[in-house]
Amino acid sequence: MRKGGRSKWVKSVHRLTHSHDVRALAAGTLKAEDKGDGDDDAKRRVRTKRNVLFSAGVDAKLAINDLESKTVSIVPPIPGGNPVSCAPDAGIILLR
């Protein structure tokens, strides 16, 4: 806080997640499972909830920003149409 009770914005992270405009934002929690370390009794999976920010843009990428660890996971767009093409005479398959 500054003098007079005014707060100041501080830049914490700068990254370019999307190459074009962002069209959707959603905040929520993501359930994750972590394995414990140590002996067999401690190797049970521990369920945790992470605060995340989902964003989607014109570039068709889905970005998942973990607000606690400040990491980003990018989910690439799913290609439209048929992802497999066959050329039986040539004996090849094209995977997109």
Within 10 angstroms of residue 74's Cβ, the number of other Cβ atoms is: 10
Q: Cα-flanking dihedrals φ and ψ of residue 6, to 5°?
A: -90, 140
Q: Give whole-number Cα distances, 69 to 13, 83, 94, in Å.
A: 11, 35, 39
Cα 54–Cα 63–Cα 75 angle in degrees, nearest 5 = 125
pLDDT band at 3 (very low <50, low <70, confident <90, very high): low
What is the tens place of the pLDDT at every residue in 28-72? 988 877 665 555 555 566 778 889 999 998 988 999 999 888 889
The C-alpha atoms of residue 22 and residue 51 are separated, in whole angstroms, by 20
- The structural domains of the chain, with segments of one domain joined by +, span 3-24+52-95
Q: DSSP alpha helices (H): ranges in 1-96? A: none
Whether residue 20 has pLDDT greater than 80 = yes
Whether residue 1 has pLDDT greater than 90 = no
Instruction: Answer whether 0.75 is exceeded by the pTM.
Output: no
